Structure 1
Amino acid sequence: MIRDVRICFVGDSLVAGMGDGRYLGWAGRLAVRADGAGQPLTYYNLGVRGQTSTDIAARWEAECDQRLNPETDARVVFSFGVNDTLLEDGRVRVPAPDSAANLTAILRRAAERGWTSLVVAPPPNADDEHSRRIGELDSRYSEVCAAQDVPYVRVHQPLLHNHTWMRAVRDADGYHPGAEGYEEFAALMVPYWLLWLAEPGSALPVVR
């Protein structure tokens, strides 16, 4: 019997797939691959352009609550942090300790609701200094997820060294790749994604 799996993808414009002419992004491509692997699911994309972890912390539960039936296999995939590390008036929009605290609170609440979580690292972009700050936040997020016993997929470093992703980002707006870049993101995720779908309580291997 096929499980009734319902998954909310929560995050920013990179979760929404901005820049992808096929309107799938990496999240939509993972949903397609799940179906191809014999695990169809109900897929909700809750990515919002420009949002930080603080913005997402304020909205995510109410949005997921309308979509995740308690009688189903209810899950949430979180990915954010790029907007937290953007500079405004010489300061990051959300300081790293606050960003980590937001993620901690989100994951604790998801666990209280009985929703299985997966966190995906924020990816790099064409701004080297910004990508460095994202990389530092990636390390903090990894520690948060380990403490909360939530699987975390560290895609930041692999994408930073992925020629196709970086070229696609640079050829676009510097932040959002086209379809080719999102395909690279999804391909990197697939082994961990399918394992998480099959065994939600298992520890995923670390991507480095």
Structure 2
Amino acid sequence: MNEDLRICFIGDSFVQGIGDPEYRGWVGRVLAASGPGITAFNLGIRRNTSTDVLRRCWREVEPRILPDTDNRLVISFGSNDAVVEDGNVRVDRAHCLDNLAELLAESRKRAIHPLVIGPPPVIDGGAEHLRRTVELADDMAELCGSREVPFIATTRQLAEDPIWTREAGAGDGAHPGSGGYQRLAELILDGGWHSWIAQPTA
């Protein structure tokens, strides 16, 4: 790992860690398990879709990276894209995938090494929201695979996780407490996080 490793985490309220009484979310827990030498920036914003993230990404990331440094970008969105408002999904699946593709292409152009975390499920969204989110996550994984970008799946695993579902149900229906975020952090750590941060960038 580069001695000066900078990681920007960009996405929605799950990236921000909403609902965690410890104010660490999964990002804080993953970083705590990653050792020293990382400068991290949490750029999660509640209710953000992939379109929102794409719109603001580079103006927020650019001031936080340095030339001749190991710059990384963790991207996680999709749960809000799949929400139905006024009879329509907020961002349809094809548009979300286009947004992700553009982020990955721009990351490569800027020599920033990306990692994509799949969208967590929204427990009170019901079966249809879960179906849309699972389908989106599968397509995101396929897109990342075609670009040789690591992807860590979370949707199905958390939808079946009793800690995540119990805490989210007891809260606002979407966001878990500390136990749920710990489960998400474990999925990410076990899903290839350490090998990703250890991989030298070109």
Tell me whether the two structures share a fold, i.e. TM-score over 0.5: yes
Aligned to 1:204: none
**Cα separation, 2, equivalents of 1:68 and 1:91:** 37
- Cα deviation, 1:137-191, whole Å, max 9, x if unaligned, reads 1011111111211100011111111111111111111111111110110011113
**Cα separation, 1, equivalents of 2:131 and 2:44:** 23
Structure 2 residue 107 is the aligned partner of structure 1 residue 110: yes
**Cα separation, 2, equivalents of 1:2 and 1:106:** 23
1:199 Cα offset (Å): 2.1
- Cα deviation, 1:73-99, whole Å, max 9, x if unaligned, reads 100000000111110111100010000
- Percent identity between the two aligned chains: 41
1:2 Cα offset (Å): 5.9
Aligned to 2:181: 182
Structure 2 residue 163 is the aligned partner of structure 1 residue 171: no
**Residue pairs, 1:10-159, within 5 angstroms:** 10-35=10-35, 39-126=36-123, 127=125, 128-159=127-158
- Cα deviation, 1:20-61, whole Å, max 9, x if unaligned, reads 1111110111111102xxx43001000011111011101101
RMSD: 1.4
| One-letter amino acid matched to 2:40 | Y
Q: Give 5+ residue unaligned stretches, structure 1.
A: 202-208
**Cα separation, 2, equivalents of 1:94 and 1:200:** 34
| One-letter amino acid matched to 2:59 | A
1:132 Cα offset (Å): 1.4
TM-score by length of 1: 0.91
Note if contact 1:120-1:153 (Cα within 8 Å) is conserved in structure 2.
Answer: yes
Aligned residues: 198
- Pair 1:154–1:56, CA change in 2 (3 A): same
Once structures 1 and 2 are overlaid, which stretch shifts more, 126-135 or 95-104?
Answer: 126-135
